[in-house]
Amino acid sequence: MKFKQSDGQNQRIDRITTSHLVIGIDMAKEVHVAQATNFRVLILSLILRSDGCANA
């Protein structure tokens, strides 16, 4: 039996417990941001904010 992609994603979301930490990353064209949230989607901290420039 085949599942829709959203069904699989919902099953993974259902497995999130109080011991999980969810990291969200937004990699935009100029500014990149990452943040940590707990299972209740409360923002715990802003991890990284970068202007996207590589200093080589």
User: Is 35 among the domain residues?
Assistant: yes
User: Is 16 among the domain residues?
Assistant: yes
- pLDDT-derived band of residue 56, with 50, 70 and 90 as boundaries? very low
- Backbone conformation region of residue 46, classed left if phi is above 0, alpha if psi is from -120 to 50, else beta: beta
User: Is 19 among the domain residues?
Assistant: yes
User: Is 40 among the domain residues?
Assistant: yes
pLDDT digits 0-9 by tens, 13-45:
888 888 888 888 888 877 888 888 887 778 887
User: Is 56 among the domain residues?
Assistant: no
d(CA 29, CA 46) in angstroms, rounded, equals 19
- Provide the number of structural domains found in the chain: 1
Domain span including residue 11: 5-50
Strands of the chain, DSSP E:
22-27, 32-37, 43-50
User: Is 28 among the domain residues?
Assistant: yes
For the entire predicted model, the pTM comes to 0.54
| Residue 43: partners with Cβ closer than 8 Å, 6 or more residues away | 35, 36, 37
User: Is 33 among the domain residues?
Assistant: yes
Which of 15, 3, 10 is CA-nearest to residue 39?
Answer: 15
Q: What is the model's pLDDT at position 54?
A: 57
